Amino acid sequence: MINIGIIGCGRIAQVRHIPEYDKNQDARIYGVYDINEKRAKEVAEKYHAIPYKSYEEMLADSAIDAVSICTANYSHCEISVKALTAGKHVLCEKPMAVTYEECQAMVEAAKKSGKYLMICQQERLLPVHMKAKELLQQGSIGKILSFRTNFRHSGPETWTIDQDKVWFFDKKSAAFGAMADLGIHKADLIHYLLDDTIKSAMAVTGALDKKNPDGTPISVDDNAICIYRTEKGILGTMEVSWTCYGQEDKSTVLYGTQGCLKINSDTKYPLILEKRSGERIYYNMDDYKGHRNGTGMVDTWIQCLKTKTPPEISGESSFESMKAVFAALESAEKGCLISVNNLEEKLDQ
């Protein structure tokens, strides 16, 4: 049995991590912690777990094998590094951390400790994305030339557990807005689908609609539009938004020399392959339903721990995706194209 500590007992912990651990036969929710003591106690009672008084107390408990970090973005690095140093395996929510240096520190702490660091980039585990990758690898649309990927929803204020004070809108707690909150999922998805790495970005961001309680615009972006170029020379756009007050848009379309592949572009068919010959193949992903425990994230993580297999959705691979986000944010700030290599060189100086 793998003993799990949950750090941060808010929405994502209660909707995904905890139920997925609860259903996994090899995992036990051993202890929980939240800065909101009442919340931690309630969750602890429900799952017969220990409510720790601090996360340090949890990390000092030798019974804990691994932790899930489900706190606000600003704290991911500090808690991850301390947990890894204390000899715990870490599953950390996205975005991995809030600066380039913090991401580096997490990757180094994992290497030094010999413990696993996995980041919740669950888009890679969605059946529709796995099937799309399989088709792309089979050359179903030939050589990939370009893509467009979107993630638009109505914003985090109706999701977060503390809706009277939305930390997602506060630069100190969140560091980022929609560009990173949603954009990290899409940059990571593009890396996964294309087996490629984003190398430069040009972006515009804006705080267009969301407001603080006093009516002033929020301190992070609620919309971002971005152009990417990958290492292999593929060009693409990414549009992310917290102000889509219609149906959520999570579509991705890949354009190749022999056709295109449409993911979540059609309400009836999650995956459509359009061949250059005119043939259209519709994939219905129902086959995959019923075999999954939630997002599959926790099962994948526990399987890694059980079989002592390093996670594929590692700190290193998530850091590669975060670099695209950092380049896009810097581009939006400076109004010019930013290459990922520039970010790396700047830090080496």
Ligand X SMILES: NC(=O)c1ccc[n+]([C@@H]2O[C@H](COP(=O)([O-])OP(=O)(O)OC[C@H]3O[C@@H](n4cnc5c(N)ncnc54)[C@H](O)[C@@H]3O)[C@@H](O)[C@H]2O)c1
Check residue 160 for interaction with ligand X (CB under 6 A): yes
Nearer to ligand X, 147 or 151 (CB): 151
250 binds ligand X (CB under 6 A): no
Among 68, 73, 80, 264, binds ligand X (CB under 6 A): 73
Number of residues that bind ligand X (CB under 6 A): 26
Check binding of 154 to ligand X (CB under 6 A). no
The stretch among 65-73, 196-204, 261-269, 341-349 that binds ligand X (CB under 6 A) is 65-73
Residue 309 CA to residue 72 CA, distance in Å, equals: 28
Name the minimum Å distance from CB 303 to ligand X.
Answer: 18
**In terms of Cα–Cα distance, which of 10, 15, 9 is closest to 31?**
9
Residue 317 contacts ligand X per CB under 6 A: no
| Residue pair 86/66 in contact by the 8 Å Cβ criterion | no
Site string for ligand X, 168-207 (x = CB under 6 A): -------------x--------------------------
In the bound state with ligand X, the residue whose beta carbon lies nearer, of 54 and 341, is 54
Of all residues in the shown chain, the one whose CB is closest to ligand X is: 10
Interface residue with ligand X, options 94, 152, 199, 323 (CB under 6 A): 94
Asked whether position 34 contacts ligand X by CB under 6 A, the answer is: yes
Q: Is 10 in the site for ligand X (CB under 6 A)?
A: yes
Among residues 181 and 222, whose Cβ is nearest to ligand X?
181
Closest CA to 228 of 174, 275, 189, 258: 189
What CA–CA distances, in Å, run from 287 to 41, 131, 172? 39, 11, 43
Under 8 Å between Cβ of 191 and 321: yes
Q: Which is nearer to ligand X, 95 or 259 (CB)?
A: 95
Contact partners, residue 322, CB within 8 Å, separation at least 6 = 95, 96, 97, 100, 103, 184, 187
Helix 183-194, helix 127-137: angle, nearest 10: 30
Residues 133 and 252: beta-carbon distance below 8 Å:
no
Q: Does 70 bind ligand X (CB under 6 A)?
A: yes
Alpha helices in the chain (DSSP H): 11-12, 18-23, 37-47, 55-59, 76-85, 100-113, 127-137, 171-174, 178-181, 183-194, 297-307, 315-334, 340-348
Q: Which of 91, 120, 298, 328 binds ligand X (CB under 6 A)?
A: 120
161 binds ligand X, rule: CB under 6 A: yes
Interface residues toward ligand X, by CB under 6 A: 7-13, 34-36, 39, 70-73, 75, 93-94, 120, 122, 159-162, 167, 181
